[in-house]
């Protein structure tokens, strides 16, 4: 593209102005692709470490003038381009803007990369952002799910009209599995009742949970049967300060 001056722009027809804007945008995108690959390699080599920066993002913030949030995103996208060749190719050719690449790399996997590139090519940036946002809400990732499960844990009870109590317990999967397994261990064996029936598994689990709680309460309340000992240690100041001195246990070594 020829050098453009303000006067030459005034003389250009609208069609040519559109072409200049489109070509310039594609060139900027391709240049940013190359710049991001350089950032990824710089981070891989820990070039920022020689400047005593905390991370590549901190170095970018300092040297390039980006705010920390933008710098972290640049580093993340840079490494994503190394991982996803189809996305990198589309950006290098100027077909996918940085904004679209930033969006789809939040949810891209090896299996979904090609489909996401096609969606990004066909949609606007706002449409792609909404798609990614909806996908992340539907599948927020393991760390977010675990944090949410932990935050929503709880135990509630409700007294029924007949006086019995319904207890509802909500736990993360691992804690729930441990609780249920222990309740099963404390549950009484299945036996035939006088009327010829057997207690349901749910009933035996309830008995196991009660037995588990009773055992835990009894263990806390039970005084230790082990004898308690008092050991008296004698040491002079020299021994305590690291110099030669005397240190002995009372009752040992006496004749």
Question: What is the model's pLDDT at position 62?
Answer: 93
Q: Which residue has the higher pLDDT, 82 or 4?
A: 82
Provide the phi-psi class of 119: left if phi over 0, else alpha when psi is between -120 and 50, else beta: alpha
**255 has pLDDT over 50:** no
Closest of 92, 86, 79, 94 to residue 38, by C-alpha? 79
Under a CB-based contact definition with an 8 Å cutoff, are residues 18 and 26 in contact? Answer: no
Q: Which residue has the higher pLDDT, 10 or 60?
A: 60
Question: What is the model's pLDDT at position 222?
Answer: 64
**239 has pLDDT over 60:** no
Question: What is the model's pLDDT at position 114?
Answer: 94
Question: What is the model's pLDDT at position 176?
Answer: 83
Question: What is the model's pLDDT at position 120?
Answer: 94
Provide the terminal-to-terminal Cα distance of the chain, rounded to the nearest Å: 104
CA-CA distance, 132 to 107, in Å (whole number)? Answer: 7
Residues 127-145: b if buried by 16+ CB within 10 A, e if exposed:
ebbebbeeeeeeeeeeeee
Residue 32 confidence class, pLDDT cut points 50, 70, 90: very high
CA-CA distance, 48 to 33, in Å (whole number)? Answer: 20
Closest of 249, 219, 222, 244 to residue 234, by C-alpha? 249
Query: What percent of the chain is modeled with pLDDT above 70?
Result: 81
In the chain, domain spans: 6-139, 151-221
- The model's pLDDT over 161-209, given as tens digits with 9 standing for 90+, comes to 999 999 998 888 878 888 888 888 888 887 777 887 888 878 888 898 8
Tokens 């003389």: give the residue. 11
**241 has pLDDT over 70:** no
């Amino acid at each position: 593209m020829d050098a453009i001056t303000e006067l030459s722009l005034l003389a250009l027809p609208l069609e040519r102005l559109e072409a200049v804007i489109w070509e310039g945008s594609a060139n900027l995108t391709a240049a940013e692709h190359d710049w991001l690959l350089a950032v990824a390699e710089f981070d891989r080599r820990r070039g920022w470490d020689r400047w005593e920066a905390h991370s590549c993002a901190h170095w970018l913030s300092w040297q390039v003038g980006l705010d920390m949030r933008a710098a972290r995103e640049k580093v993340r996208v840079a490494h994503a381009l190394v991982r996803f060749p189809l996305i990198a190719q589309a950006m290098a050719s100027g077909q996918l803007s940085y904004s679209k690449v930033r969006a789809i790399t939040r949810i891209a996997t090896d299996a979904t990369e090609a489909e996401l590139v096609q969606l990004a090519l066909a949609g606007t940036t706002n449409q792609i952002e909404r798609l990614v946002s909806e996908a992340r809400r539907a599948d927020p990732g393991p760390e977010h799910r675990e944090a949410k499960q932990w935050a929503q844990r709880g135990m509630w009870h409700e007294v029924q009209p007949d006086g019995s109590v319904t207890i509802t317990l909500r736990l993360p999967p691992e804690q729930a599995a441990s609780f249920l397994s222990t309740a099963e261990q404390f549950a009484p064996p299945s036996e035939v009742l006088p009327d010829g029936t057997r207690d349901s598994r749910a009933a035996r689990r309830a008995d196991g949970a009660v037995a588990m709680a009773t055992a835990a309460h009894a263990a806390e309340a039970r005084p230790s049967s082990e004898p308690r000992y008092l050991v008296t240690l004698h040491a002079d100041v020299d021994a305590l300060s690291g110099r030669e001195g005397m240190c002995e246990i009372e009752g040992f070594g006496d004749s």
